[in-house]
Chain A
């Protein structure tokens, strides 16, 4: 199984076939509640680590989503355009974007699952 990395902003990134799949954590979708709209970047957008690349909106509020690493957006999950609630159904399965990972060292600054669980336990 490929290792999953987590950010403090509650995104996850998983390396697969040389690309990083980026999504929202289950904790984040639960906190947000019913997700009704997702705004994602264009394919080809260059992202810096920590840069806001999109927005997830629940009924109550709009939340930015941040790039866990630097790289280029190579695909966006178009299913979410019509069915944003898929994130509520399964946040780990329904990725937001695929991106290139320019520098794998970026991953070292992120948390593993155990560290992330400790992190959200404190929140």
Chain B
């Protein structure tokens, strides 16, 4: 498979980005410094190219019934113009993908899915589409997407659009907004824990949006790469497919049961979810703060005080915002109280850590 370039590839090269292959795409990992970009998003604003994300359109009179079959959350509960987070599940309760569902109307929805899973998701969705009066289109390559994130995001974008952005509440969107000589779908969403927007246009127009935002933002806005996207989402307790959840890791093990319907049992995976809910879950995602020296990284083993291996680090960093090493761990541990001690296998050593609230930014 050849490596794809987003429509913003030239902009990244011009900005001196360090490029990396991610999910089959050439993406900017960082422009100047991961830490600078991270702080820019927390304190001012950052601009991400997220054109690699997948957009799959579902249209037709039975769109809602079809989505109820394949999607874990209750799409019927939201209004037109609203967005809901949830999962495509396998029958055994593992995760095909986590995604946002945009409700345009009762018969028109857009799934925004992970780049690495887009083809897999589309195939999975097509398996069931034939049973319903719906058309499922993978429009991922035709759509460009940027995310402007940070406390100054609204002010910067506001200067470029003729609508009042305060009218777009979190997890809502407005389509067909004139912006930089194109028309955009704008949602108040993101993957950083900060206020901000995700902006979708035809792929060929996204460069105009990028340029207009960079010019308008001036010193308050800087391009931000995938490197800080991961540290930002991690600090904000947001899961990453493949780390906190995955084909063999149920969302229930990541504390994400809220996004799986408790009222319906007609979606794929419902039976497995019900059994897990009834029997209780063995593994749980916890937050850790490293007390000793070192950094816990993805895949490192976690031990209890009696030296039993109890789990694994799913994501860990030296947190740029908090200035200390923190980590998510998926563990089998009956008692999980804040302050409780565990240790982490870092290379040939054990470093001590303690359980903390996984809502890391709250303790800032």
Q: Which of B29, B33, B294, B325 contacts A34 (CB 8 A)?
A: B33
- Which residue in chain B gives the minimum CB-CB distance to A61? B297
Question: Contact between A62 and B34 (Cβ–Cβ < 8 Å)?
Answer: no
Q: Which of A39, A55, A59 contacts B318 (CB 8 A)?
A: A59
Question: Contact between B318 and A60 (Cβ–Cβ < 8 Å)?
Answer: no
Q: Which of A37, A57, A60 contacts B34 (CB 8 A)?
A: A60
Question: Contact between B34 and A34 (Cβ–Cβ < 8 Å)?
Answer: yes
Contact with A along B31-64 (1 / 0, CB 8 A): 0011100100000000000000000000000000
Which B207-243 residues sit within 8 Å CB-CB of chain A?
A: 227, 231
Give Cα distance in the complex from A33 to B295, angstroms.
16
Contact with A along B2-34 (1 / 0, CB 8 A): 000000000000000010000000000110011
Q: Which of A37, A55, A59, A62 contacts B231 (CB 8 A)?
A: A59
Question: Contact between B293 and A37 (Cβ–Cβ < 8 Å)?
Answer: yes
- Whether a CB of chain A sits under 8 angstroms from the CB of B347 is yes
Question: Contact between B317 and A59 (Cβ–Cβ < 8 Å)?
Answer: yes
- Minimum C-beta distance from B322 to chain A (A): 12
Q: Which of A34, A37, A39, A57 contacts B35 (CB 8 A)?
A: A34
Given the known A-B contacts A33-B30, A34-B35, A57-B318, are A62 and B227 also in contact in the complex, defined by CB atoms under 8 Å? Answer: no
Interface size on A, as a range, is 10 to 19
Contact with B along A46-63 (1 / 0, CB 8 A): 000000000101111110
- Which residue in chain B gives the minimum CB-CB distance to A55? B347
- Whether a CB of chain B sits under 8 angstroms from the CB of A36 is yes
Cβ–Cβ < 8 Å partners of B297 in chain A? 61-62
- Which residue in chain B gives the minimum CB-CB distance to A37? B295
A residues lining the B interface (CB < 8 Å): 33-34, 36-37, 39, 55, 57-62
B residues lining the A interface (CB < 8 Å): 18, 29-30, 33-35, 38, 227, 231, 293-295, 297, 317-318, 320, 325, 347
Between-chain CB contacts (< 8 Å), 28 pairs: A33-B18, A33-B30, A33-B33, A33-B34, A33-B35, A33-B227, A34-B33, A34-B34, A34-B35, A36-B295, A37-B293, A37-B294, A37-B318, A37-B325, A39-B294, A57-B295, A57-B318, A58-B34, A59-B35, A59-B38, A59-B227, A59-B317, A59-B320, A60-B29, A60-B34, A61-B297, A62-B295, A62-B297
Apart from A34-B35, A36-B318, A37-B295, list 16 A-B contacts with CB within 8 A: A33-B30, A33-B227, A36-B295, A37-B293, A37-B294, A37-B318, A39-B293, A55-B347, A59-B35, A59-B317, A59-B318, A59-B320, A60-B29, A60-B34, A60-B227, A62-B295
The 6 closest A-B pairs by CB, nearest first: A36-B318, A34-B35, A59-B34, A33-B34, A34-B33, A57-B295
